[in-house]
Amino acid sequence: MLTSRIVLIALDMNKFDYDENKYFLLSTEEQVKLIEQRIRYICDELKNKEPDAMWIVAWREYGIGEKRTIVPKDKKLLKQTMQKLIQEFHPNLTIVAGTISTRKHVNDLTKLKNIKKFYDEHSWIRERERAESTNPEHYNLDKEIKIIDDLQQLMPDTGIDVLRNTCYVFHNQDTWRHDKMSPFEEEKDLLHKQTVFQPGNKKNNMPYCELTHPFTQFAVTIGTEICREHYFATLRTKSDRKPMFHFIISASLPLIISNIYGEYALQLDSINKPRLILTRNEDFQTLPIHLYQSNMLEKNHNLSGPLQPLYPFVKSIIEKLNEIIIHLPNEARILVEEFRESFSIEKSNNAMHNKLKVWLKRNEKFLLNAANIKQSNLFQSNFSIKMWLQEVNEIIKNDPDKDIFHLDYHAETNALPFNQIDLFDHYLKNGNYSEALNYVFINNALLNQRKLNINQAKMLIGAVIDFEKTDFEKENLCTIIFDNIIDLIMEPILESMNQTLLHGLCEMNILFLVRAILPYCREKINQPDWNGDTAFHVAIKRHVDLEIIQILLENGANPDCVNYDNKTKTPLNLADDSYPEAASMIRKFRQSSSYKL
């Protein structure tokens, strides 16, 4: 048991902060210098606040780099700078240097053969990707292997660029590294197309390191997961023991409670604010671990904290409170927001349980009366306050102030808890699609056990629109739903019009929805309804965003399909009549090398 403090300091680089773009326009050298200055300020402050503690400074994925990557000389600068800081603030300071994506040019193309062998070491991830989706676009390892195969055939004279995404930990005289195993859009924004991603291999993919507390000599163990590794629970899979700290280092990734594998968890992310999550019942007052935050993109150098830690139970409730807020009028929304803030600062799990139960009992009727049900033309958001209250009570019931919080059970059995399946079926049967969608978000594998009909899929997609998540997360949810109904996607959803789901999504003019469905319907993208209108006709009539026009064209939408309106109305005719910007885009696209019919 710890007898001296450990202080965690999250250097927060939030993508919604005003100066984020300004920071990433700096050179890598300037970014390293800025981080060095900030760590100095932090350590000088901690000398007064926490002089006898171990200080662990950490930041998120891609925290350093121009266009997300750096070259070997910049990596050398980073390592030298961090090692210098470790020596200067010895013995207190340890640094978990987020991740850096290193780009190295290689002329020896035999390197490709070795990289392909490294992917063989992670065949279990490849199998998981194939098992969880029927869409090849989601087979990230397969896509990387195809890039390698293509380059081996091409054998470019100019060589190749090799990317590696690495987390470094600097402690005393030691430097430990973990290379990311599971790629996802690693080559994004790179101009050099002859680029391959090299995953971690046996030499450097151990996601676990053992450090020593500088004053007690107590072992302090850290396990790391980089981005999608967390989705596959690689820490649990690759470590033979549970660490003290589980660091989830990501750019934009939802935390999966059931994949936490440590006594304490900390996510460092560009969207989610850092919070320490406890996996056993401990008294906040006597907890020997403090979390502080320092916003890298603010001129103010002061530390915020110690920040209130959370139990998984509390995080689940806060997410449920966030979910209800968008469905309430102002007065009720303010009530929920005020409770959310006061609820998260209670000092014990028991106090939180009691406060939540009292608040629910006192405000149940008010919330039921205040609920605002939203509807749209094609989809319906059937949010039910009554069902929401039932689900919150289910969370309370399933967390009876025990010290394991169900984390080990959920992950080690790799099974969906019975109550989740039961509740999902209940909400689906009763038409409460918002609540059913929550369970798909919590456990992506849930739909592997249930086959949807086209109406259920349509309603779930409608619920995605109001879901309080990023567009990236919403698009992923839509993809999971489309995977489930792959054989039904081009079936009519409005039989009176013979319109398909693609027609309906174009009518809604929501980019992430159209982008999610197109991989499933390229071959029938020009399927007409009873009026002869294709989805492209609908998009032009609706004056959808030009980004949607562009991706429809790129996926084979025909601007010359004639509908049944006197046999003259094509999407291009319609655009010439009322949407000149789209007409211009269509003609430019026709002149490009991408245009094929």
Residues 348 and 276 in one domain: no
Residues 273 and 400 in one domain: no
Average pLDDT for 116-134: 87
Residues 305 and 322 in one domain: no
pLDDT at 14: 67
Q: Which of 148, 236, 247, 149 is nearest to 198 (CA)?
A: 148
Domain count, the chain: 3
pLDDT at 381: 45
* CB 383 within 8 Å of CB 466: yes
CATH of the domain at 239: 3.60.110
Q: What torsion do the CA atoms of 396, 402, 408, 414 make, to the nearest 10 degrees? A: -30
Tell me which of 137-151, 175-189, 402-416 is least confident: 402-416
Residues 513 and 399 in one domain: no
Tell me which of 162-171, 217-226, 429-438, 550-559 is least confident: 429-438
pLDDT at 404: 32
Average pLDDT for 384-389: 78
Return the bridge partners of 262, or none.
none
Tell me which of 281-285, 310-314, 507-511 is least confident: 281-285
pLDDT at 466: 80
Cβ–Cβ contacts within 10 Å for residue 315, how many? 16
Tell me which of 61-75, 238-252, 484-498 is least confident: 484-498
Residues 476 and 495 in one domain: no
Q: Which of 340, 315, 310, 312 is nearest to 325 (CA)?
A: 340
Per the prediction, the chain carries an average pLDDT of 81
- Residue 597 is assigned to a structural domain of this protein: no
- Residue 569 is assigned to a structural domain of this protein: yes
Average pLDDT for 206-217: 89
- Residue 160 is assigned to a structural domain of this protein: no
Domain that holds residue 366: 314-482
- Residue 273 is assigned to a structural domain of this protein: yes
Tell me which of 56-70, 132-146, 289-303, 487-501 is least confident: 487-501
Tell me 1's DSSP state: -
Q: Which of 447, 482, 517 marks a domain boundary?
A: 482
Average pLDDT for 14-41: 80
Q: Which of 433, 467, 482 marks a domain boundary?
A: 482
Confidence of residue 407 (pLDDT cuts 50, 70, 90): very low
- Residue 267 is assigned to a structural domain of this protein: yes
Residues 173 and 242 in one domain: yes
Q: Which of 482, 515, 534 marks a domain boundary?
A: 482
pLDDT digits (tens, 9 = 90+) for 92-106: 999 999 888 888 888
Residues 575 and 497 in one domain: yes
- Residue 12 is assigned to a structural domain of this protein: yes
Residue 48 half-sphere exposure toward CB, CA atoms < 13 A: 6
pLDDT at 457: 87
Task: State how far the Cα of 179 lies from the Cα of 225, in Å rounded to an integer.
Answer: 10
Report CA torsion sign: 484, 487, 490, 491.
negative
Residues 448 and 386 in one domain: yes
Residues 204 and 250 in one domain: yes
Residue 403 in this model has a pLDDT that exceeds 50: no
- Residue 355 is assigned to a structural domain of this protein: yes
- Residue 152 is assigned to a structural domain of this protein: no
pLDDT digits (tens, 9 = 90+) for 534-583: 999 999 999 999 999 999 998 899 999 888 866 668 999 999 999 999 99
Percent of the chain whose pLDDT exceeds 90: 24
Residues 257 and 292 in one domain: yes
pLDDT at 417: 41
